[in-house]
Amino acid sequence: MDDLVITVNNIEEWQTLNDTNSLGQVFRRAQSILVGGGKVVLERVQPSGEHYKFDEFTSLEDLEAYKKNVYKYVKED
């Protein structure tokens, strides 16, 4: 079973750019990982280059709540 690490810095950039294609891809991959029994880990890369893991999802419900929060900040066309 694989795990997926999502770099939140990328999520924030895609939110700013309204890049729903990239967001959709990462959330589809995350859903696939969870269905397969893996986990999804959120991390932030600090300006120093240090990787800071701060959250972990093991259920589709948790992922869906995070996804809803992410899309809340994406502008609709």
Give the pLDDT confidence of 24-51 residue by residue, as tens digits: 999 999 999 999 999 999 999 999 999 9
Q: The domain containing residue 37 runs over which residues? A: 4-71
Tell me whether residue 64 is in a domain: yes
Q: What is the pTM of this model?
A: 0.90
User: Is pLDDT above 90 for 75?
Assistant: no
Report the greatest alpha carbon distance in the chain: 37
Q: Is residue 76 part of a domain?
A: no
**Pairing relationship of beta strands 51-57 and 40-45 according to DSSP bridges:** antiparallel
Residues with Cβ within 8 Å of 2's Cβ and at least 6 positions away in sequence, in order, are: 33, 36, 38
The pLDDT of residue 77 is 63
Number of domains composing the chain: 1
Identity of the residue numbered 67:
K
